[in-house]
Amino acid sequence: MIIVMKAHAEPKQIEGVVKRVEELGYKVHLSRGEARTIIGVIGADEHLIAGEAFEVMDGVDKTMRVMQPFKLASRDFSEANSVIDAGGVAIGGQRIVVMAGPCSVESRAMILETAHLVKEAGATILRGGAFKPRSSPYSFQGLAEEGLRYLAEAREATGLPIITEVMGPDDVALVGEYTDIFQVGARNTQNYSLLKALGRQKKPVFLKRGISGTIQELLMSAEYILAGGNMNVMVCERGIRTYETATRNTFDINAIPVLKDLTHLPVVADPSHGTGMWQLVGRIALAAVAAGTDALMIEVHPDPARAWSDGAQSLTPERFTTLMGELRLVAQAVGRTI
């Protein structure tokens, strides 16, 4: 349930409501807007509480039930879009954010070169995997901490904030020493120990949709992080597994407007994993911008033919530069900038 306080309710009145909610055994989530404070009542059976009991309290305007099973992630909880500060870059606002870089950090020279190239093309966040969740244990697993150090060096050199994947709760502290944004990959969307660990810290979390996950499951996973106290979460459509074999995954374009309607969290599109083919990445990226995405994640490699992972879906820096120009035009057509 959500308790909406009257405009400019007094701190004493807000405290009174919070105290009552806690007495009833529920957790409180306070959201202080410019004029109004909203009090989220969080708990297993919060739907059983009578709203009327709060509506008679001083300073309370109204109460609302959140019908969705995800509460803090719900659009009912916050009508306004959430804007996340990721190392100084705002995600979720009018400007569409482009995160670009290689699938894996392969060497110091390669990530530094790519960082400069994607920055020149207009990307504002650098991506690169140091811990790689590979389908085969015999495939390249990433450079681990060495890769994190190279990413941090690339941030120093370019000023671009960095995003990299964290695969388990035990790695949160280490990855958090380096990264600006934690990426949770599609294979870990329902790794609840990892989600809880990320909820206990404050850095932004980029949560991908599971390989065969529904939109509701994605938002329930986001809820784990939010319920832990970290409101800096963005959700990413990266393609799902269907019966179609012409592409690596089926990019669910519907997910973008559906997520925008269901949640206030920023929505990201990943056309690289969504298609698996560089030839399709640009067209799906353009469609995602038209569909209302707040950000894009695009794999770019200086020499895709020699990439250690995901070369087939990686754009060359030249193709990425051309795509950025096209993206700006579509963004403008839908009232956004890039």
Q: Which does 186 bind (CB under 5 to 8 A by kind): ligand PEP, Mn ion, none?
A: ligand PEP
Q: Which of 38, 42, 103, 267 binds ligand PEP (CB under 6 A)?
A: 103
**For residue 97, which phi and psi values (nearest 5 degrees)?**
-95, 135
Of 109, 48, 13, nearest in space to 302 by CA: 109
Q: How far is the CB of 41 from ligand PEP (least distance, A)?
A: 34
Minimum CB distance to ligand PEP, residue 135 (Å):
9
Per rule CB under 6 A, is residue 186 in the interface with ligand PEP?
yes
Interface stretch with ligand PEP, choices 3-11, 145-153, 168-176, 182-190 (CB under 6 A): 182-190
Residue 123: name its binding partner from ligand PEP, Mn ion, none (Cβ under 5 to 8 Å by kind).
Answer: none
Structural tokens at position 165: 């994947």
Residue 14 or 103: the one with the smaller Cβ distance to Mn ion is 103
Contact predicate 215/255, CB 8 Å: yes
| Residue of closest CB approach to ligand PEP | 185
248 binds ligand PEP (CB under 6 A): no
Task: Please name the residues in contact with 253: beta carbons below 8 A apart, sequence gap of 6 or more.
Answer: 284, 287, 288, 291
* Stretch of 25-33, 149-157, 184-192, 321-329 contacting ligand PEP, by CB under 6 A: 184-192
133 interface partner picked from ligand PEP, Mn ion, none, CB below 5 to 8 A per type: ligand PEP
DSSP state of 256: H
Q: Which CB, 228 or 311, lies closer to Mn ion?
A: 311
301 binding ligand PEP? (CB under 6 A): no
Q: What gap in Å lies between CA 70 and CA 127, rounded to an integer? A: 29
Q: Is the dihedral of CA 284, 287, 291, 295 positive or negative?
A: positive
Instruction: Pick out residues in 262-291 that bind ligand PEP (CB under 6 A).
Output: 273
With respect to ligand PEP, which residue has the nearer C-beta, 93 or 169? 169
Part of the chain binding ligand PEP (CB under 6 A), chosen from 46-54, 81-89, 185-193, 199-207: 185-193
Query: Measured at CB, which residue is nearest to Mn ion?
Result: 103
CA pair distance 250, 239, nearest whole angstrom: 5
* Dist. CA 248–CA 240, nearest whole Å: 9
In 3D, which of 154, 155, 163 has the Cα closest to residue 108? 154
Select from Mn ion, ligand PEP, none the partner in contact with residue 66, using the beta carbon and a kind-dependent cut-off of 5 to 8 Å.
none
Q: Residue holding tokens 């986001």?
A: 222
> Cα(281)–Cα(330) distance, rounded to whole angstroms?
15
CA distances in angstroms from 21 to 42, 63, 84, 231, 334, listed in the order given:
9, 13, 28, 20, 42
Residue count, binding to ligand PEP (CB under 6 A): 9
Q: How far is the CB of 196 from ligand PEP (least distance, A)?
A: 19
Site residues, Mn ion (CB under 5 A): 103, 310
Amino acid at 159: G
Candidates 238, 248, 264, 319; binder of ligand PEP (CB under 6 A) is: 238
- The answer to whether residue 311 forms part of the interface with ligand PEP (CB under 6 A) is no
Q: Which of 92, 129, 213, 276 binds ligand PEP (CB under 6 A)?
A: 129
Residue 138, classified by CB atoms within 10 Å of its CB into exposed (0-12), middle (13-18) or buried (19+), is exposed
Binding site for ligand PEP (CB under 6 A): 103, 129, 133, 185-187, 208, 238, 273
